[in-house]
Structure 1
């Protein structure tokens, strides 16, 4: 499925991976709706895109934890450009440090990191199935294949996002619905630094666990990899190829992997207090 001439929605598009994806999609010939909870950030990204590619991007403030706002986002894309071909479920939150203190932070993390994907797919699938094509790109994380030291909610919801993307592909892959799932490790975004800025030793360990495990990529580097994967219609997008080896080791000996992760976590915590 080619990007040129298509209509795309990118959530979490006000910066980071989402902003880079929106810009790269337009350079490849798509028209894009840039959505973000921060409406000003979304507007800045769209304005920068339109400087070089006029009338190729529009911005919309959107809270993807609210299905009515997702519905309004899709309706705006259709009204401005036409039926949505690509949906990038990219918005994400770090969630509470550790296990969290209450249900509210967990609910927000589940809504943004998982339920937003489910709700968008529910709205898009009827039209896609009728047309016989559509492309859903889920931004999960390497934490969805491995785990995330420091944040239970982030780890759990990213595992669930991978599972939902798998289900979409299994259920609708033979009916023209393409699905890709992006699972990077470190990418230089505000989300990456949330843990070390939390003031909590476990939160700081979460950031160091990612930054010490492999290269920290730029959002532009990730966007290039994503567009290449879409061109190949590849399901699992791994900007850090070493994640696949880690995932295989995990599946090959789960208990050994868990023991190693506990030791790794303790080293990170010890370094934070030394």
Structure 2
């Protein structure tokens, strides 16, 4: 899957990984890039960096109507969508005792249901045209959990499960699906405000911190190979294999790891 000459939508694109992907897709020759984010000023700034092939849209991906509206805008202004990158995500840094019902609901809406809304909005048109591609940012947390943040771990795992379901049911209809599963990346999620959280300490102890631009390169490579799992951090694949090979041993090891950080 190559982005050249394709219309691409990127959500959560005002900063971090989303911004890096939007800029890289434009550099790769995308026909148009829709930059979507709740941060309207940030989205406009990224679109301005790209130039005339870009369009900024303020959207709340946790709202089905907003996702349908941004898809309509992209197809009306830029053309049929070839790649939809459902990238927006949020963390809480809270465990079982601290996470409120509102945090659980909001995290589920942004980290999981947003992928559902995107698929509902773009798949009918993609299937009718004979093909298309979904890239969902799901995080390593969706595969190997997330110390300290229960809502994040659960909703990212659900996002991967949904992507698997779409891949199974729509592959024969010409739809490709990839899940982006990075570990530590220098974004707002790892800002100074959260560095003391257990989640941030676990991420920093688990492997290298990548720049968003590094992740964007892995995305290009992963899409080119049409791999379902895109691992910017190769160690995540190893963690995942250990988990599958001996779940009890893996759980015990993760428990010891978390205890060592507290």
TM-score range, shorter chain: over 0.9
1:237 aligned partner:
230
Q: What do residues 114-143 of structure 1 show as CA deviations (whole Å, max 9, x unaligned)?
A: 000001101111111111101000000111
Distance 1:216 1:96, change over 3 A: closer
Distance 1:110 1:190 in 2: 19
2:193 aligned partner:
197
Distance 1:242 1:198, change over 3 A: closer
Establish whether residue 42 from structure 1 lines up as the match of residue 38 from structure 2: no
Q: What do residues 9-46 of structure 1 show as CA deviations (whole Å, max 9, x unaligned)?
A: 00000010000000000011111000011111111111
209, 213, 216: which one aligns with 1:220:
213
- Please list, as runs of the form range in 1=range in 2, the aligned pairs for 1:50-61 lying within 5 A after superposition: 50=51, 55-61=52-58
Q: Shift in Å at residue 229 of structure 1?
A: 0.9
Contact 1:96 1:106 in 2 (8 A): no
2:24 aligned partner:
24
**Any unmatched runs of 5+ in structure 2?**
none
Distance 1:84 1:212 in 2: 39
2:202 aligned partner:
209
**TM-score scaled to structure 2, two decimals?**
0.96
SS in 2 for 1:264: helix
Q: Shift in Å at residue 261 of structure 1?
A: 1.0
Task: Count residues with an aligned counterpart.
Answer: 260
Distance 2:186 2:93 in 1: 20
**Any unmatched runs of 5+ in structure 1?**
270-274
Q: What do residues 222-242 of structure 1 show as CA deviations (whole Å, max 9, x unaligned)?
A: 001101111111111000111
RMSD: 1.3
- Please list, as runs of the form range in 1=range in 2, the aligned pairs for 1:86-235 lying within 5 A after superposition: 86-95=83-92, 97-99=94-96, 100-193=98-191, 197-198=193-194, 204-235=197-228
1:272 aligned partner:
none
2:3 aligned partner:
3
Contact 2:92 2:99 in 1 (8 A): no
Q: What do residues 74-102 of structure 1 show as CA deviations (whole Å, max 9, x unaligned)?
A: 11101111111110000000035112442
Contact 1:12 1:91 in 2 (8 A): yes
Distance 1:148 1:102 in 2: 17
Q: Could you list the structure 1 runs, at least 4 aligned residues long, displaced by more than 6 angstroms after superposition.
A: none
